[in-house]
Each structure stands twice: as structure tokens, then as C-alpha cells.
Structure 1
């Protein structure tokens, strides 16, 4: 299966269980692999037959910045849901959501979650 790949989209948002995370916010890094049949777009050089990267990023930004969630698991799930709602060509989505500066009192590169789901996992 073909894939559209977006790696480490940087978005500032207000998610986390700590009060300061919801008040001050922080940077999140979001990587996506969206499986879809891209053969028509490749053969015909037709943007309408693929998933437009800019539109995918816009949808992800809307989801990430529209609300405040305690869990990044919820944020990742909502992003996948938004992709399946807005991009009917998407067959599956793999997402990695990273919090590089998670306030946990430990030195680490990032804390994060990773999910992979198919369209059939969502009622959209």
C-alpha cells in the first residue's frame, strides 16, 4: 500500500495532566503515515487523486489546537478520527505523537504514544 508521510509536524498546544501544561502549553511533534492507493495520482499527475500534505497538516492543527486534553492518547485518537473523516482515500493511519518537554522530572528525548488504526476501526 502507498503512503503519505509527514514527520515531526510541530504544533503548540495545551495538553497534559499537569495544570501548567494546560496553562503554559508546549510543543508537540506529530508524525503520520497514511496508507492510501496513490497510483491514480502518480499516473495522472493529479493532486485531487492524492492526499494533499498541506490539507492533512491543516486538519491535524485544527484537532490539536481545538481543545485541551489530559491524555496525548486522546489527542492521537482524535487526529486519526479527523483524518478518516476528512480524507476518504485514507485506508489506515499510523501516528506518533511526541512531547519533547514533558514535565516529568526526568531527562529524556521525548515521551509519546504511537497508534495504528484502519478506517474500519472508526465509525466515520
Structure 2
């Protein structure tokens, strides 16, 4: 097998993380959890993970996912924009993450639409 040298940028996607959250401004939204669908794309330098083939050298996306679940479960949000920002902040707290994009859907938020979503992204300078 031919070896590829240099830094290896990895894209990790966490797809369709379905959680229940208190989100919204109407009384029924404040009092009842609703589905939110979270999608995350992030990049990090996976060179060490590739070379060492050890979990300790890789970005632990399971840890990131657990942090997001705990945060969404333990808080209330008025706006989808705020929830999206807070999830993006959790992802970017991991120093290995170089760029991230978070999109969160709120299904059935509008009468004739399947969902409404907000997408935010951040990168390290």
C-alpha cells in the first residue's frame, strides 16, 4: 500500500442526532419538550490518529455528542439560534476542532413546512 504523507484533514459528521428539548416562546413550547434534529460537520488534523491507530490520538466525537445531549437535556431555549450557538460552542471547545458547522432543525415549527433550521459555523484563526 502506498503511504500518503503530510497532514491529513478529517471531516467528521454527526448525522441526525434526534433529541427532545424545551425550545420556543409559546406556552405549549415552554411546557413541552419538542424534537430537534442536530447535524454537525467538523474538521480536525487526523494525522496522529492515522499514524498511531489509537483512540487517544483521535478526536473523541462520542465525548462531544454526550456533552451536547447533556446540555440540550438540561436547559431551556427560547430561540433556535441560541440553541445552535450553544451547541457550536460545545464543539469548538475541543481544541483539535479547526472548523465546525452546526445545523439544528425544529420539525413542524411552521404549519406547511417539514421543519425550520438554523445553521451556524465557526473556525479557528
What is the deviation of 1:109? 1.4
**2:24 & 2:57 partners in 1: Cα distance?**
37
RMSD: 1.4
Structure 1 length normalisation: TM-score?
0.86
Structure number with the higher helix fraction is 1
Aligned to 1:11: 19
| Structure richer in strand, relative to its length | 2
Give the one of 98, 121, 124 matched to 1:116: 121
For the pair 1:73 / 2:58, whether they are aligned, the reply is: no
Moved over 2 A (4+): none
Q: Tell me the number of residue pairs that the alignment of Structure 1 and Structure 2 aligns.
A: 117
Aligned residue among 2, 22, 28 for 1:20? 28
Corresponding position: 1:95 with 2:102: yes
Deviations 1:8-36 (A, max 9, x none): 10111101121211211111100001111
CA displacement at 1:118 relative to structure 2: 1.2
Unaligned runs of 5+ in 1: none
Rg (Cα) greater in structure: 2
Using the size of structure 2 for normalisation, the TM-score is 0.86
Structure 2 unaligned runs (5+)? 1-8
